[in-house]
Amino acid sequence: MAFRLTSKDYAEYIERAYKVIYDNGDYVTDLDLATGDGDHWSNLNMGFKKLVEVKTVLESLSISDELKEIGKIMMAVIGGSSGVLYGSAYIAAAKVSVDKEYLDNNGLYEILEAMLDAIMSRGQAKPGFKTMIDSLYPAVEEYKNCLETGVSDEELCDRVKKAAKDGADSTSNMEAVKGRATYQADKGIGHLDPGAVTMSYQISELMNIAKERII
């Protein structure tokens, strides 16, 4: 039993991720106001809202072209560093998914790994810096471990989802190395990183839809 995600499935994931991000607007904004300038949610929400508006276009494209278009839209619509990072991530994902008709467990791993590498490279950041990477990195590492140990796709989805959530939760104990929180006396210790939290939302929804597509 394995999952296969088509362009239509990925567009459906985008819409679900948007809903979760939208529904948690006040919570994420409060997190951001505690350590930053409070605009992370509004910027990210704006980007995902635009993607949902062009959902029918996205689902008509090949996987690679869909990911590339998502990257272009995010880079154009999302303000600040998040737009550049998300845009770079999706454009990198598009490059490793050329000629793929769908994403199986290996294909989805490849795009998440490409996204992670692009974000770390473009943002000059790594795990432990109290950023979105602290959710994405453990998720990718757990994904890799699941593939190497041959667990079922169902278990893989559950474990990757948990790794993303646990990674986001771990940012509460980290000192910020990047962003506005570095200017605070406590370096943001005691506060969750909003970028890691919203990344965990996205990974959770992606794993949810992958699990639903297991046949």
Taking Cα atoms as reference points, which of 168, 169, 171 lies closest to residue 181?
171
> Which of the two residues, 188 and 207, has the higher pLDDT score?
207
Q: What percent of the chain has pLDDT over 70?
A: 95
Q: According to DSSP H, which parts of the chain are helical?
A: 7-23, 25-35, 40-53, 55-58, 63-77, 80-95, 105-123, 133-149, 153-170, 194-212
Could you give the CA distance from residue 89 to residue 71 in angstroms, rounded to a whole number? 7
What's the confidence (pLDDT) of residue 185?
47
Please check whether residue 125 is in contact with residue 178, taking contact to mean a CB–CB distance below 8 angstroms.
Answer: yes
Tokens coding 42: 């509004």
Provide the pLDDT confidence category of residue 35 given band limits of 50, 70 and 90. confident
Looking at residues 38-51, what average pLDDT do you find? 96
Looking at residues 33-52, what average pLDDT do you find? 94
Please check whether residue 118 is in contact with residue 92, taking contact to mean a CB–CB distance below 8 angstroms.
Answer: yes
Domains, the chain, in order of start with CATH, read 7-212 (1.25.40.340)
Could you give the CA distance from residue 198 to residue 204 in angstroms, rounded to a whole number? 10
Could you give the CA distance from residue 104 to residue 63 in angstroms, rounded to a whole number? 12
In this prediction the pTM is: 0.95
Provide the pLDDT confidence category of residue 186 given band limits of 50, 70 and 90. low
